[in-house]
Every structure is written in C-alpha cells, then in structure tokens.
Amino acid sequence: MVSRWFLRALVAGYLLMLVAWPVSLVATNAFTNGLDAMVMVFTDPGVVHALQLTVLVAGIAVVINTVFGVAMSMFLVRYEFPGKRLLSALLDLPLAVSPVVVGLALVLVYGGRDGWFGPFLESLGIRVIFSTPGLVMATAFVALPLVIREVVPVLTEIGTDQEQAAKSLGASSAQTFWRITLPAIKWAVIYGVVLSTARSLGEFGAVKVVSGNVLGETRTATLAVEELYLNFDQAGANAIAFGLAMVSVLCIVVVGALRPRHRI
C-alpha cells in the first residue's frame, strides 16, 4: 500500500522536523560544554533559589488545582444546579486566555498600588503581586482546567451504581468518596496532576507579568533561563532548559507507561 507508507512518512517527517530534531539538539547542546559546566550552573546560588521557588510555587498551585479540580468535577457530574452549563464552559476559559492577559488581569485586581483589592490586602500586610502569592495565583490560573478535563469524563462514565450501593449499605458521603469514587477515578486524577505539574513548572508569561523580578527574589526557573540567555550565557540557559525539558518528558513517559491502556 503506497498511500499507507506515504502517510506514515509524512507524519513521521513532520514530527521529526517540528519536535524530535529540535528537542534532541537542545539535549546535545546542554552537554557540549561537559558535565562540569552543567554542575556549575546548578550550584549557582541564584539558580538554586530560582529552582526552589519554582518547585514551591508549582507544588502549591498543583495541590490547590487538584483539590479544586476533583471537587468541581464531582459537583459538575453528580449534582444539578442552576448555571451548571455556564460554569462548565467558563472553567475551560484559562485554556483559551493568553498568559500575558492572565498576568495583567491579576495585576489589575491585586496590584499593590492601584489594584481593586491590592491596597486593602497590602494594608493587612498581604502582598500578592511581585511576591509568591501572585506567582501561585498566576500558575494556578493557567493550569486550572487540566484536572477537571481528565476527571469529568471518567466520573461520567463510571456512573453512580457503586456509590448508591455503598450508601444503601450505610456508608457516609465521606466514606463513599474515599473508598468508592476516588479509587475509580484514580488514574484520571494522577494524569491530571502530572499534566498540571508539567504546565506549572514551565509557566512563563503570566509569571513574568506578576513577578516584577524583584532582585531575583521572585525569579522562577523559566525567568532565569530568559535572563541567562539575554545575558549571552547560552550554556547556562541551555542547561536549565534541558533540566526543565527532562522533567516534562519524564512526566509524560512515566504516566504514559503507568496508565492502563484501557482508558478509565
């Protein structure tokens, strides 16, 4: 079959030129200066601080989004309430909004000088923009729908039979959730968490707007890559970029391998 081979070659060639080849070049570039250069970059105090901040911010954002996502999915699938369809559409909004618009939106509301709530929060001693809470909010915003989009279809598909059986046998709502519902949606939640983690670690545009890059204090890993690159430290930029790329590749490969082939 000529057409089959043609399609295979076309798809493989397209993905090679667009993704595989460029990504592998970054990997080789990261190692051209040897391991020593790499170790030097990752022991630089500024870079270490940026990595720690990234892990902290992404960690908090992922926890918030997981709890919010699983709860929201339960409300959307298991309950009826007015405005449900509108809410379900609005929850997809972060997928379609530019990261820069996300950052701007947060600055307009939580900016310390003339935001809507910013001055009030600042008078309570809470600084959001140019500080860690702002980074967490920006990160949580962009990754918001990922858990929900994985969990909702699975919750819909498993139905309510087992939950009702558990209830009729005397289980409380909490028991039913922890022992029946959660195990059934486990893989969807894990997949959602992994996608959120990858997205959160790599967020750049929204974080850049709210960070203000205050003396390196609010510099995350992606911001550090930009700064190194613009300061002509290509080796350093490549090393951190390679590290970030490795984490996201690992996320995808591990989950792809762990997840049962049959999608539930």
Partner 1 sequence: MTWAPTRPETPPADLEQRPLPRGRPLLQTNLTTASGIGLGVAMIWFSMLVLIPLCAVLITASEGGWGAFWSTVTHPQTFAAIRLTLLSAAAVTLVNVVMGTLIAWVLVRDRFWGKGALEVLIDLPFALPTLVAGLVLLSLYGKDSPVGLELAYTPASVFLAFLFVTLPFVVRMVQPVLEELEVEVEEAAASLGASRATTFRRVILPALVPAITAGAALSFARGVGEYGSLVLLSGNLPYRSEVASVRILGSIENDNLAGAASVAALLLVISLAVIVVLDAMQRRVADRG
Contacting partner 1 within 182-221 (CB under 8 A): 195, 198-199, 201-205, 208-209
Per the CB < 8 A criterion, the answer to whether 219 and 52 are in contact is no
> For residue 249, how many other CB atoms are within 10 A of its CB?
13
Q: Of 107, 129, 151, 193, which one interacts with partner 1 (CB under 8 A)?
A: 107
Please say which residue, 107 or 135, places its beta carbon nearer to partner 1: 107
- Going from the C-alpha of 158 to that of each of 43, 77, 154, 190, 251, the distances in angstroms are 48, 11, 6, 17, 26
Residues 6+ apart with CB under 8 A from 178: none
- We find the least distance from the C-beta atom of residue 8 to partner 1, in angstroms, to be 6
The first and second tokens of residue 169, run together, are 């046998």
Query: For partner 1, what does the binding mask look like between residues 13 and 32, x meaning CB under 8 A?
Result: -xx-xxxxxxx-xx--x---
- We find the least distance from the C-beta atom of residue 44 to partner 1, in angstroms, to be 18
- We find the least distance from the C-beta atom of residue 48 to partner 1, in angstroms, to be 18
Considering only CA atoms, which of 190, 196, 169, 191 is closest in space to residue 180? Answer: 169
Residue 264 contacts partner 1 per CB under 8 A: no
Residue 254 contacts partner 1 per CB under 8 A: no
Residue 119 contacts partner 1 per CB under 8 A: no
